[in-house]
Structure 1
Amino acid sequence: MCSHDGKISKNVRQKVVRRFLEPNSSWRFRILGYGQVVPVTKFGRLATIFYGLFGIPMMLLFLANLGSLMADVFRIAYKKICCRFARDRKQESEKGDPPTWGHGEFVHNPGWTLRVRKESRSVRIPVWLILCSFFLYLFMGAMIFAYWENWTFLDAMYFVFVTVSTIGFGDMLPGMDDAHPVHRTNKFISALVYLLFGLAMVAMCFDLIQLEVKRKSKRLARRIGLISSM
């Protein structure tokens, strides 16, 4: 593959560049590490190292910010639904007041301000609801991939979980068996968008759950006298 003077032949260089420009190379940015497309030269491996050194922190920062934004949206949606139910129950019973965290002005003012985002942090969301939302996202993705790729539901769920959890074995990939290049590209782009938001969902769940864990930890610490109740 290489000439005697150590230079890489033109065909090999073109092959390496083409492989790095394939859509599958974007998996590198998402710390999954699928091994179906790999660099075969020293230059390619060095480029992969520097690519990952800059790309992975940028992706993690992007996912953290996107996850925080999605968490705020989730809190606001949950707050609106709770306010609507509280208001309907008040109208039906014509007694009692809505919960103090309802803030009727918020229901009628969907403006996206810093004050609203800070207020949304006070909304308490049950952990079971957060986990159900995450597994519902996985379930929907598994249904889509099972339909697209003619996989069994178990295989599709395995692929979605392994990918979103960043395990990334690479033994199953969407669109690889499709002979039509346009369909294969469309499937890949759709899968990339789904899995990108899946990683953001993981960040969102961590953001939501950690606040609830902090609240319960402080409550437990007050009960056993580790911290002051003030």
Structure 2
Amino acid sequence: MRLVMPGCISDARSIPALRVFVLICAMALYLSMGASVFQAIERPLERELEEHVARVKVDFLRNHPGVTDEDLESLLDVVVRASNRGVSAARNVTGGPNWSFGQSLFFSSTVVTTIGYGHVTPLSKPGKVFCMMYALLGIPLTLVLLSALVERLLLPATAMLRALNAALGHLYRPFTIRLVHLLIIVSVLIIFFLVVPAVLFSSLEPEWDFLDSFYYCFISLTTIGLGDYIPGDSPQQEYRPLYKVATTFYLLIGLTFLMLTLTVFYDIPQLNLSTVFSSVKLDEDPEKMRLSGSGVMGPGYGIGGLVMRDEYNHHDQRRSVVHIRPHLDDSPSPEDTTPVHARDMRVH
């Protein structure tokens, strides 16, 4: 029987709190570093633009003596406010209204996916109220839809993992095999949802180069949605409503595959850093064990079908080792629809 001193329990509980404090400090340092770098890079260009605008205003007032500075400021204020609401004052912009069906569908998708570009917003009070109600129901519905799609995509992803394990299990450790599997998923995400769409956008958008298009794809799929680049808003854009609808489907499919990539990433215990800052381990909480499905697998199985066996080295320190042995029947049958976190992977 092992005796545990009360002081040891309090020390063990203080360790996660200390780790969280370190994480908070690291996050604050990371934000400060980002602010410093952005300031150093962007502030000189901003200063140049401010000086250019000031020179243009002075030249305009000099060439138009009948226009006062107050009149010009009033006009600019109206133009800027309209531009912030998605309405351009330029005479050559004939891309169609912002609230056509295609544009409205694109806006609805940015709301429920929490991308929120912000370049087009509801102008009326009823529109703002409906937008809040629409998002309140649409965001959970979108998460449920994306989760269901990810669960279906996990089936071929798991089949590929089992094939890699059967082919390489006798040569490499399970962690290495999972890294190879993750690398394949990430490569598909980068090539087919970032690089290829970036090439298409750079060819369709007259003012975008490849970097601008890749930047837009990354900012959109990560749901940051800065709104500085919006497809289909250039003057004389052909088939603008259809273009917006196609972009909507791209965003939904891209977000689904991004969630699949994150699921595969977090399913690797060695890469899931959230457990480092958790005060209660999953295998110590019966409720979490039940919700994770580990209890229905029987003895010898843990999260994701893998068991983490504690061993002790010569320094008497605990380490976790995962052993997977490939079998000929590791490949699931086509009728097997069990998610990846509930599949049986052989352990010894």
Common fold by TM > 0.5: yes
Q: Which residue of 2 aligns with 1:211?
A: 267
Q: Which residue of 1 aligns with 2:105?
A: 23
- Residue type of the partner of 2:265? I
Give the TM-score taking structure 2 as reference length. 0.44
- Pairing partner for 1:152 from 194, 206, 209: 209
Paired residues of 1:68 and 1:207 also in contact (CA < 8 A): no
Deviates more, 1:46-55 or 1:141-150: 141-150
- SS of residue in 2 equivalent to 1:37: coil
Q: Relative to 1, partners in 2 of residues 1:226 and 1:143: Cα closer, same or farther, differing over 3 Å?
A: closer
Paired residues of 1:67 and 1:202 also in contact (CA < 8 A): no
Distance 2:245 2:215 in 1: 20
Distance 1:57 1:74 in 2: 25
Q: Which residue of 1 aligns with 2:248?
A: 192
Residue 98 (structure 2) pairs with residue 43 (structure 1)? no
Distance 1:158 1:221 in 2: 44
- SS of residue in 1 equivalent to 2:242: helix
Identity %: 24
Q: Which residue of 2 aligns with 1:128?
A: 183
Unaligned runs of 5+ in 2: 1-97, 171-176, 270-302, 313-317, 322-346
- Residue type of the partner of 2:106? N
5 Å matches for 1:1-230?
19=99, 21=101, 22-26=104-108, 27-77=110-160, 79=162, 124=178, 126-136=181-191, 137-150=193-206, 151-177=208-234, 179=236, 183-213=239-269, 219=308, 222=311, 224=318
Per-residue deviation, residues 75-121 of structure 1 (Å, max 9, x unmatched): 335656887xx5xxxxxxxxxxx979xxxxxxxxxxxxxxxxxxxxx
Which structure is higher in helix share? 1
Q: Relative to 1, partners in 2 of residues 1:162 and 1:222: Cα closer, same or farther, differing over 3 Å?
A: farther
- Residue type of the partner of 1:25? F
Paired residues of 1:127 and 1:209 also in contact (CA < 8 A): yes
1:186 Cα offset (Å): 2.2
1:41 Cα offset (Å): 2.5
- SS of residue in 1 equivalent to 2:121: coil
Q: Which residue of 2 aligns with 1:120?
A: none
Per-residue deviation, residues 12-47 of structure 1 (Å, max 9, x unmatched): xxxxxx838523322212111111221123222111
Distance 1:43 1:195 in 2: 27
Paired residues of 1:127 and 1:212 also in contact (CA < 8 A): no
The structure that has the greater radius of gyration is 2
Unaligned runs of 5+ in 1: 1-17, 87-97, 101-122
- Residue type of the partner of 2:200? I
Paired residues of 1:141 and 1:160 also in contact (CA < 8 A): yes
Between the two proteins, the alignment pairs up a number of residues equal to 176
Q: Relative to 1, partners in 2 of residues 1:72 and 1:130: Cα closer, same or farther, differing over 3 Å?
A: same
Give the TM-score taking structure 1 as reference length. 0.64
User: Relative contact order, CA 8 A, sep 6+: which one is greater?
Assistant: 1
- SS of residue in 2 equivalent to 1:40: coil
Distance 1:226 1:148 in 2: 51
1:130 Cα offset (Å): 2.2
Q: Relative to 1, partners in 2 of residues 1:220 and 1:132: Cα closer, same or farther, differing over 3 Å?
A: farther
- Residue type of the partner of 1:138? L
Distance 1:154 1:202 in 2: 20
Distance 2:311 2:120 in 1: 54
- Residue type of the partner of 2:99? R
Distance 2:132 2:242 in 1: 29
Distance 2:194 2:237 in 1: 27
Distance 1:127 1:219 in 2: 20
- SS of residue in 1 equivalent to 2:232: coil
